[in-house]
């Protein structure tokens, strides 16, 4: 009986360890560390693809201080720089950078679409937004 009990305990510990190893860790808000030309280009491509190929201009320090990226729609202007239309009804698009396991993942907030950023290094943000 004692040997059976020890076997059950050992088996239970093994099963619990396996479950712990397989548990999915939640996404953590992240920021880009050590940005490079390649990582900036990758981020720009990911945002543009999420916006159906719309051209985007991002600051070189995008997502390096905050996990939230807000993209304002372009405002068409005439030759003198005045807005072509009176009221702008376009809504900003929001993207969130998260650390998902070892990966940096950009999430388009309105669609939930996720893109893994292969050339980007990120770490969990000190304080999430």
User: Do the beta carbons of residue 62 and residue 43 sit within 8 Å?
Assistant: yes
For the chain, what is the domain count? 1
Inside any domain, residue 110: yes
Inside any domain, residue 112: yes
Inside any domain, residue 82: no
pLDDT tens-place string over residues 33-53: 999 999 999 999 999 999 999
Region 91-104: mean pLDDT is 95
pTM for the full model? Answer: 0.72
Inside any domain, residue 9: no
Inside any domain, residue 29: yes
Q: What is the DSSP string of 90-127?
A: PPPEEEEEEEETTEEEEEETTT--EEE-TT--EEE-SS
Which range of residues forms the domain containing residue 104? 25-72+92-129
Using the predicted structure, report yes or no on whether residue 65 has a pLDDT greater than 50: yes
Inside any domain, residue 87: no
Q: CB neighbours (10 Å) of residue 15?
A: 10
Opening angle at CA 106, ends 102 and 110, nearest 5:
140
Region 63-88: mean pLDDT is 81
């Amino acid at each position: 009986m004692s040997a059976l009990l020890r076997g059950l305990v050992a088996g239970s510990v093994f099963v619990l360890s396996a479950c712990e190893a397989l548990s999915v860790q939640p996404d953590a808000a992240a920021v880009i560390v050590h940005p490079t030309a390649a990582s900036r280009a990758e981020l720009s491509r990911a945002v543009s693809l999420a916006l159906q190929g719309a051209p985007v201009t991002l600051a070189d320090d995008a997502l390096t201080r905050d996990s939230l990226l807000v993209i304002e729609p372009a405002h068409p202007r005439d030759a003198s720089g005045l807005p072509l239309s009176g009221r702008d009804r376009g809504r900003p698009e929001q993207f969130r950078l998260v650390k998902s396991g070892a990966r940096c993942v950009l999430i388009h907030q309105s669609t939930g679409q996720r893109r893994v950023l292969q050339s980007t290094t990120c770490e969990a943000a000190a304080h999430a937004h």
